[in-house]
Amino acid sequence: MSLWASQKALLVTCDEQRLLEGVRTWGCELGCCRRAVAEHSDLVTTVLPLTPPPEEERRARANDREYNEKFQYASNCIKTSKYNILTFLPVNLFEQFQEVANTYFLFLLILQLIPQVSSLSWFTTIVPLVLVLAITAVKDATDDYFRHKSDNQVNNRQSQVLINGSLQQEQWMNVCVGDIIKLENNQFVAADLLLLCSSEPHGLCYIETAELDGETNMKVRQAIPVTSELGDISRLAKFDGEVVCEPPNNKLDKFSGTLYWKESKFPLSNQNMLLRGCVLRNTEWCFGLVVFAGPDTKLMQNSGRTKFKRTSIDRLMNTLVLWIFGFLVCMGVILAIGNAIWEHEVGTRFQVYLPWDEAVNSAFFSGFLSFWSYIIILNTVVPISLYVSVEVIRLGHSYFINWDKKMFCAKKRTPAEARTTTLNEELGQVEYVFSDKTGTLTQNIMVFSKCSISGHSYGDVFDVLGHKAELGERPEPVDFSFNPLADKKFLFWDSTLLEAVKMGDPHTHEFFRLLSLCHTVMSEEKNEGELYYKAQSPDEGALVTAARNFGFVFRSRTPKTITVHEMGTAVTYQLLAILDFNNIRKRMSVIVRNPEGRIRLYCKGADTLLLDRLHPSTPELLSTTTDHLNEYAGEGLRTLVLAYKDLDEEYYGAWAQRRLQASLAQDSREDRLASVYEEVESDMVLLGATAIEDKLQQGVPETIALLTLANIKIWVLTGDKQETAVNIGYSCKMLTDDMTEVFVVTGHTVLEVREELRKAREKMMDASHSVGNGFTCQERRSSAKLTSVLEAVAGEYALVINGHSLAHALEADMELEFLETACACKAVICCRVTPLQKAQVVELVKKHKKAVTLAIGDGANDVSMIKTAHIGVGISGQEGIQAVLASDYSFSQFKFLQRLLLVHGRWSYLRMCKFLCYFFYKNFAFTMVHFWFGFFCGFSAQTVYDQYFITLYNIVYTSLPVLAMGVFDQDVPEQRSMEYPKLYEPGQLNLLFNKRQFFICIARGIYTSVLMFFIPYGVFAEATRDDGTQLADYQSFAVTVATSLVIVVSVQIGLDTGYWTAINHFFIWGSLAVYFAILFAMHSNGLFDMFPNQFRFVGNAQNTLAQPTVWLTITLTTVVCIMPVVAFRFLKLSLKPDLSDTVRYTQLVRKKQKAQHRCLRRVGRTSSRRSGYAFSHQEGFGELIMSGKNMRLSSLALASFATRSSSNWIESLRRKKSDSASSPCSAADKPLKE
């Protein structure tokens, strides 16, 4: 935030412009400008608003608050809260009325305040509206209270600030840009600081960045040499350096700036910065200069809001609500026309005792008013309680995920966490899963497994016949007892490598020397000989540990030196430069000078980049090492190439000068540095390669197999080599030897990639006996009508594509070809992909496929993919918690994904769909009675029910039973959900709640309303009381219809409930009891005595419900409403059961047979001979067992065992969905769909 952060309007003229020309920058002093304007006020004639540009650079001068205040930078006070005591009510109400539903009900409330329009009291709308607004307001207020509490806790932390030559205690909120503050060990960093000096030698300090990136390992930061000696407070008080740097941004790993001091300038980088949120560790004290404060800090810049995600059911509900509103208007128009006609034809005859209101002067105007009256009466077809109920149900589902002990990792003590409550039902509709490999499918715990040194491969153990020994057949691991500093946890089985080290092989020594020098690991020695390495990545830790065990022990480092114990001898290397790793370079280098004075560059990196930078003098070594790399990658190992280069003093001096100039550049500094690094990292000498094993997580193959059976397509997007990714694909059963073919796309040009994709499609079509490739037309189709050939091709295929090929495949003119080819395959693996490409692949599927996507990963490189997908899942693993912070759901192991989707996701989808179907049904049944009554009351907008019943129907009488069903219901137990993954498919096909199901619910509701009105109306027309008087009166009719309605909807929800709990019983029967209690209370003498004008009909309920005719009417209405539903469901179960019906039936059979088995076993004890076979097997499972498929994984076998139609209907619907998304283009398409 600069001086011009808010727009100022200054009164200036051309003469004044000359006064302002001397202003140095846009960050000039506002006071000076104002004084200049005041002094020349006689020249003021026009108003010119000055719109400031965004801050282009940040200037901060040490120990000079007056200078820094000119720029009006943000204070260090943070504010994440939204409200205060004065603004809460207006702001919160304004936010809530941004919701269309709330605005709609406010409009209805205003209508109800017009006497000529409303036939209902205002409280019938205001009570539920206020209740909903109050519940939401309390939730928002609670959330904001905790935000206030957190803000106050942080803002009131104490910090030591150097003011007027002495350290003074100041609250964090009072720290300003340019202040010098002192930090002590284990303290949080108050703002983004330039490190000036510390208690450690050379201005080093150690920090933990867990709050920034989730990584708990220590990182090192270093003050620039010119300020590292300012350890004395008196010197710091005289320090007046000025920092000129980049404006505030959210890039945690980048910083570019320059320090101007003593007529010199010094480059600043991220290594010199301490960011807010970090914690000082293992450093007694340090001093820093505040560069960014408060909202300008990188921590706060990264706290932006994540894109709000909505489910497909939310989007459908919005559409349906609009349709319902249109239906409501149509009903209002029909009844308004009826009112106008009735008043014109009939109503005029009753003007003597039914005169029009004063404002009504015609039948047409009466119809107009009647329209608005019926809009009010019929508004309950869209009850406001719907939205609150949906949020309550989602909240309950989220708690079930959080409380699931089977998704709790005891080792890490990490539970599953639903970080959002809006996406639960979409977990039951996932069709595509995009997964990272490292840390997601694998453990991300790296083990040094093999290596290639100077053309010789180490790591394999052979038996006496020369065959590779398996893990269980291997001899004892290598004995490292000769090395007192060895890590006892490190295991290696090839003793020839240790022998080569002991024999002094120069290539082997140089290999491990490189591993001990070329890294950014920090060493900590708590006790003599007990070394603890803190590595930024598990790979680096594994490589440095390997060098440690083989005699090259990294012992310690300073900013300018690295000390290594080489075979027991301490050797200190002068560290001249670190060329750090990044995702573009994919390599890192160090330049060191050994004790003999020789300068050498050591480099390690990805083979795709490093092999091109080698000197061409050793082609044989390059060929052999490449073969080893391919062999290692084929075994699923992660590989790196090692190389070195000798530099002479003259060349290094010139290169170091070019590097310094690049580091001082104000613009394009990173590009210039990359160019300088590229220059020195060339013509290197190949040394060898390393291979690190990253084992699969437990349960990954079983999870992938189960999700595949649920028709979920799994795509792996990884940055690893193709061979490594393919091997992992086989290990986790994504790829199998039974597959028809695995297509590998490795083209380097657009034409090559297009040709490889075309050949893959041709092979798939040929295998399906199709004429031609069938895709020439599809490639011209619009994305909205993209054809899926997933069900059309015969056989199982897989696609493997490299990153450079994927870059071409994602271009606009080829993305549809790639997508169709990939979707026709059972498994897809994308290798060597960048984080951006991961997000692009997910976006491609989201854009062209009407399918729900889920992305799962564990690292910062997965964040973009996680945010792009419909649902993002973060794995809390070894790479910090960036992925978790960006995710919608998180847990610690990939295997929990099957439970999240197949149990929680499926149940959430089922519950939400049943809730919505029943909710719309009960409200149409309730509301449409008014519509029918309108034809019998002269379209006068008279209500059937008592106004208190209208108010309480949705918020008391019917709210809790439907909530209980929405929260607790389940069709089959969780074990069966996992056992039969085909149960998941109805959610993918959106079968349980769609437009068709909606219209069925509406039709049922209208049918119920017709019976609810006309059966009591017909009975009351002729019925009499016990004393012979006429039974028909308005209040008795209202009580009868209302009682029938409550009983019918209660019985209906009992039929809809598939899983009964004590809560369901309590809510359903309790709601009925509450209805009768309130009904009798409202017609009691007590309320009449207190409110005679409100409760006039004393004893009406008691008198009405005392008549046998009324109860016969209620019974008849209930039976006629419910019996068609019961009959239909009985026939459906008998003729065309769902797969869930089949599973429930099978479960019931199993229970009965187990009970029979136990009974027969008890009887059988009296006999000396019996056959256990007859009672321990069920008829019909022999074929399943003989099929060779595990029962747990083959839900299709169960479906065919019980009824073949239960799976065929899903398959036919899937084909129908596929066909509806395509349009016939040519005859070549027809064979695809046969």
What residues are labeled active site? 436
Using CA atoms, how far apart are residues 243 and 73, in angstroms rounded to an integer? 14
Give the alpha-carbon dihedral of 463, 468, 470, 474, to 10 degrees. Answer: 40
Count the alpha carbons within 13 Å of 59 in the hemisphere toward its beta carbon: 17
Q: Which of 510, 1, 527 is nearest to 292 (CA)?
A: 1
Contacts of 186 (CB under 8 A, 6+ apart): 279, 280, 281
Residue with tokens 């408060």: 294
CB-count exposure of residue 679 (10 Å: 0-12, 13-18, 19+): exposed
- Which amino acid is present at 1118? T
Cα angle vertex 533, ends 532, 534, to 5°?
120
> What single DSSP character describes residue 855?
E
Using CA atoms, how far apart are residues 507 and 644, in angstroms rounded to an integer? 11
- Which amino acid is present at 359? A
Q: Determine which helix (DSSP H) or strand (DSSP E) holds 703, and give its type and residue range.
A: helix 700-709
Using CA atoms, how far apart are residues 70 and 29, in angstroms rounded to an integer? 5
Question: How many whole angstroms from its chain centre is CA 1189?
Answer: 34
Phi/psi of residue 890, each to 5°? -145, 150
Strands 204-208 and 218-222: antiparallel
Using CA atoms, how far apart are residues 356 and 1023, in angstroms rounded to an integer? 33
Using CA atoms, how far apart are residues 669 and 260, in angstroms rounded to an integer? 17
The length of the chain, given as a count of residues: 1234
- Which amino acid is present at 689? A
Rg, C-alpha atoms of the chain: 38
Using CA atoms, how far apart are residues 337 and 330, in angstroms rounded to an integer? 11
Count the alpha carbons within 13 Å of 823 in the hemisphere toward its beta carbon: 25
Return the structure tokens found at 416.
């599953």
Q: Which of 291, 286, 284 is nearest to 270 (CA)?
A: 291
Q: Which of 996, 1020, 1024, 852 is nearest to 434 (CA)?
A: 852
Q: Which of 439, 430, 427, 433 is nearest to 829 (CA)?
A: 433
Q: Determine which helix (DSSP H) or strand (DSSP E) holds 923, and give its type and residue range.
A: helix 906-934
Work out whether the CA dihedral 438, 441, 447, 448 comes out positive or negative: negative
With H, G, I as helix, E, B as strand and everything else as coil, classify residue 1232: helix
Give the alpha-carbon dihedral of 72, 78, 79, 80, to 10 degrees. Answer: 130
Q: Determine which helix (DSSP H) or strand (DSSP E) holds 328, and give its type and residue range.
A: helix 312-345
Residue with tokens 């590989």: 639
Residue with tokens 């070549």: 1228
Three-class HEC string of 208-275: ECHHHHCCCCEEEEECCHHHHCCCCHHHHHHCCCEEEECCCCCCCCCCCEEEEECCEEEEECHHHEEC
- Which amino acid is present at 881? I
Contacts of 355 (CB under 8 A, 6+ apart): none
Contacts of 940 (CB under 8 A, 6+ apart): 119, 339, 370, 934
